[in-house]
Structure 1
Amino acid sequence: MAEQGKRGLARMFAEQAPVLRGFFVRRGANDEAEDLVQETYLRLLRAHQAGGAAIGNPEAYLFTVALNLAREQAVRRQRPVQSLEEMENMAALLAVGDSVEDATDRDQRRKRLQALLADLPERTRAVLVMQYRDGLSYKQIAQRMGVSSHMVKKHVVRGLARCRQALAEDAPTP
């Protein structure tokens, strides 16, 4: 019975996918419209599989999810892009020094960075490592992980935000 429900959702989604694509494009997500359409469907499937109350009107639910995704996308577009200074600060954590004090500081920073990375979800950690250590692009990471470039970007943004927050909490107050 659950399988029939999935097939019904898949059929409804196939019919609505072009409409959803247009919905996202009209809201300015030209490059990410396809990813957002797929994310909408995934959220619908997750809700269906959660085993809670049955979705009374799957089509309405689909468009509610799409509207929420469009709003999330609009908020993300308004956030400032990571500055060059922030990226240089990240690189400074890995910089090589000459003195014993520099080596000690570098070792402490390395351990702190490892601890921060260890606290991140596995996929987010993998994305950050592939981007910063291996120098891979979002597209290359997406291909390796079998996800969209948009999802890679989400992992990078979330991971860096969590690291920044943890570092800010650890910083001494003047």
Structure 2
Amino acid sequence: MTTGTGALTGFGAGDGRDLLNRAIEAHYEEMVAAASGGGRPRSAALDIVHDLYVKLAMRPEALADTRSLGAFLRRAAANLGVDRLRRERFEGRLFSGTDDEAAAVPVESAAPYHAFDAERRIALLKRAIAELPPRRRAVFVLHRMHGLTPGEIANRLKLSRNMVDRHLRRAFTHCLDRLAEFD
């Protein structure tokens, strides 16, 4: 097994993780620079490199046929950065409206029997919120109940803005999935 640029063969999961750790240490700043493409702030690039490390740590055998770890890691960081930029742009379009705009959309009046379901729906939403992991629940409650912006939540909970957005998306999706099961 080599740790530099030669082909990698015959290593176990522990060897792969050791190799990954050494490679990340050796090429960290190069990966951050590659992930910073498109004028992305350093904090976002650091998040990308972290996410890449987590993905590779779950599958260290992915490094087995790599000839140049540095080139592989730089390319992977750049690709992950491009993927994240595309997702952020998509989400920006998807979630571009404000709560006030959403409230201004007219709705048909509910049928009388829906009033009976209101208590069950509220109980279902309370359970759905309680099912969320603690950090995601805190982000959700701060945003929906206390009206904090994602930036304010990021500062208060010492999270990146991307992580706050991710928690909010997943919390909303979870609650909507639970409501869909009800309907």
Give the structure 1 partner of residue 159 of structure 2. Answer: 147
Query: What is the Cα-based RMSD across aligned positions, in Å?
Result: 3.3
Measured after TM superposition, the shift of residue 146 of structure 1 is: 1.9
Query: Out of 45, 49, 52, which is 1:37 matched to?
Result: 45
Greater Rg over alpha carbons, structure: 2
Give the structure 1 partner of residue 4 of structure 2. Answer: none
Give the structure 1 partner of residue 126 of structure 2. Answer: 114
Measured after TM superposition, the shift of residue 124 of structure 1 is: 1.6
Whether contact under 8 Å (1:131, 1:138) holds in the other structure is: yes
1:20 aligns with 2:32: no
Query: Out of 138, 141, 149, which is 1:129 matched to?
Result: 141
Alpha-carbon distance in structure 2 between the residues aligned to 1:162 and 1:73: 24
In structure 1, stretches of 5+ residues that fail to align are: 90-100
Measured after TM superposition, the shift of residue 131 of structure 1 is: 0.8
Alpha-carbon distance in structure 1 between the residues aligned to 2:42 and 2:100: 33
Give the structure 2 partner of residue 81 of structure 1. Answer: 95
Measured after TM superposition, the shift of residue 47 of structure 1 is: 4.4
Query: Structure 1 vs Structure 2: percent identity of aligned residues?
Result: 21
Whether contact under 8 Å (2:128, 2:178) holds in the other structure is: yes
Measured after TM superposition, the shift of residue 24 of structure 1 is: 3.7
In structure 2, stretches of 5+ residues that fail to align are: 1-14, 105-113
Alpha-carbon distance in structure 2 between the residues aligned to 1:8 and 1:67: 18
Measured after TM superposition, the shift of residue 160 of structure 1 is: 0.9
Whether contact under 8 Å (2:35, 2:45) holds in the other structure is: yes
Alpha-carbon distance in structure 2 between the residues aligned to 1:54 and 1:74: 24
Aligned pairs, how many? 152
1:138 aligns with 2:150: yes
Alpha-carbon distance in structure 1 between the residues aligned to 2:20 and 2:79: 23
Measured after TM superposition, the shift of residue 74 of structure 1 is: 0.8
Whether contact under 8 Å (2:125, 2:179) holds in the other structure is: no
Give the structure 2 partner of residue 97 of structure 1. Answer: none
Whether contact under 8 Å (2:150, 2:164) holds in the other structure is: yes
SS at match of 1:169: helix
Give the structure-2-normalised TM-score: 0.64
